[in-house]
Amino acid sequence: MGGTSGLGLSAAKAFVAEGARVVVVGRDAEKVRAAEGMLGVHATGLAGDAMRPDTAARAIALGVERFGGFHGLYHVAGGSGRRQGDGPLHELTDEGWAYTLSENLTSLLYSNRAAVRQFLAQHTGGSVLNMSSVLGWSPSPKFFATHAYATAKAAIIGLTQSAAAHYAPQDIRFNILAPALVATPMSQRAQADAAVLNFIKTKQPLDGGRIGQPADADGAAVFLLSDEARFVTGQVLAVDGGWCVSEGQSGDSIQ
C-alpha cells in the first residue's frame, strides 16, 4: 500500500530485484501505470485509496489471481495532515485530527486486517511490515510539531506489536520500519527549508549529515519481509541516519 512513489516505490523495485512478485497500490491511476512500467512483468498495480476499507482486500485478491499467492504486506501509505489542520496541540483542528489519523492509522488497520484474514484463510504464515516514524517516540518540537501525525505513528507501534504477539502462533509476523526525514513527495516543505537542512546535519549525522533517501530503507524492508527474518517479529527498526541517538542542533552554532 502506497507503492507508487517515495519509500514504497523504491522498496517495490528492491522486492522485484530479489525475485518477488508485487502488487503496487496508489490513489493516482497514472502513477500506478508508471510504476507498472518501471517494475516490469513481475508487478501489477491497483488504483485505490488506502483509506477505503476494501482497497487492501482487492489488492490481495489481485495478487492471488495474478501471481498465485500472497505472502507479505508492506504498508507505506500515509502522509502529512498539515493542510487539513494538523499541528501543535493548541492549533490542531478536529478536521486535521480526523484526517491525519484516517490517512496514517485507519488505512493501516484496513490493510493489516485484510492481510491477516487472508493468511488465516490460507492456513499459512506471512509477514506484515508497517511504516511508522521516529516522530512516534522521538519528537522534534521546533521543526516537526504535527501532533496528530506523531500520535498516529506511535499508535502504529502499539497495533503492530499487539498483533505480533497475538498471531505469532500462526507464524504471522509483524514488524515496523521507522524512518526519520527522507526525501519523498511528503517532505518537500522540509527539504526546501534551510533551517531544517541545517538541523539535519547534526540530527541525522550519518553519511555526512543528510536527508535520507528512499533506497536507504530498502535493505531493511527486504529483510523483514523475507524468510531470512522468519524468527523476527514485533520489532521496531529505526532507519534514521542517527536521529534517535543524536541531540541535534539548530541555529548559527552549526558550522
Active-site residue (options: 74, 99, 110, 149): 149
Active site residue 74: no
- SS3 sequence of the chain: CCCCCHHHHHHHHHHHHCCCCEEEEECCHHHHHHHHHHHHHHEEEEECCCCCCCHHHHHHHHHHHHHCCCCEEEECCCCCCHHHCCCCCCCCCHHHHHHHHHHHHHHHHHHHHHHHHHHHHHCCCEEEEEECCHHHCCCCCCCCCCHHHHHHHHHHHHHHHHHHHHHHHHCEEEEEEEECCECCHHHHHHHCCHHHHHHHHHHCCHHHCCCECHHHHHHHHHHHHCHHHCCCCCCEEEECCCHHHCCCCCCCCCC
**Active-site positions?**
149
